[in-house]
Amino acid sequence: MPERESTPRQAVISLRGATATLGARPVLRGVDLTVHRGEVVALLGANGSGKSTAVRSVIGQVPLTGGSVELFGTELRRFRRWGRIGYVPQRTTAAGGVPATIREVVASGRLSRTGLRWPGKADRAAVDRAIALVGLADRAKDSVSALSGGQHQRVLIARALASEPELLIMDEPMAGVDLASQEILASTLREQVALGTSVLLVLHELGPLEPLIDRAVVLRDGCVTHDGPPPEALGQHALPGHDHVHPHAAAEPVRTGLLT
Partner 1 sequence: MLFEFLNPPFMQRALIAAVLVGITAPAIGIYLVQRRQALMGDGIGHIAMTGVGLGFLLSTSPVWMATAVAVAGAVVMELIRWYGHTRGDLALAMLFYGGMAGGVMLINLSDTGSNANLTSYLFGSLATVSESDVVAICVLAAFVVLVTVGLRRQLFAVSQDEEFARVSGLPVRVLNLLVAVTAAVTVTVAMRVVGLLLVSALMVVPVAAAQQITKSFKVTFVLSVVIGTAVTLTGTVTSYYQDVPPGATIVLLAIAVFVALTALAAPLARRRARASEAKGAECTLEVPPARRGADDVRV
Contacts with partner 1 by CB under 8 A lie at 59-61, 80-83, 85, 87, 89, 91, 94, 96-101, 104-105, 107-109, 111-112, 114-116, 119, 141-143, 146, 159, 163, 176-180
Q: What is the DSSP string of the chain?
A: -HHHHTS---EEEEEEEEEEEETTEEEEEEEEEEEETT-EEEEEE-TTSSHHHHHHHHTTSS--SEEEEEETTEEGGG---GGGEEEE---S----SS--BHHHHHHGGGHHHHTTSPP-HHHHHHHHHHHHHTT-GGGTTSBGGGS-HHHHHHHHHHHHHTT--SEEEEESTTTT--HHHHHHHHHHHHHHHHTT-EEEEEESS-GGGGGG-SEEEEEETTEEEEEESPPPS-GGGGSTTS----TT---S----SS--
User: For residues 48 and 89, which CB has a smaller minimum distance to partner 1 in the complex?
Assistant: 89
Residue 15 C-beta: closest distance to partner 1, Å: 16
User: For residues 133 and 155, which CB has a smaller minimum distance to partner 1 in the complex?
Assistant: 155
Residue 222 C-beta: closest distance to partner 1, Å: 22
Residue 221 C-beta: closest distance to partner 1, Å: 22
User: For residues 205 and 227, which CB has a smaller minimum distance to partner 1 in the complex?
Assistant: 205
Residue 168 C-beta: closest distance to partner 1, Å: 12
Residue 108 C-beta: closest distance to partner 1, Å: 4
User: For residues 157 and 224, which CB has a smaller minimum distance to partner 1 in the complex?
Assistant: 157
User: For residues 98 and 249, which CB has a smaller minimum distance to partner 1 in the complex?
Assistant: 98
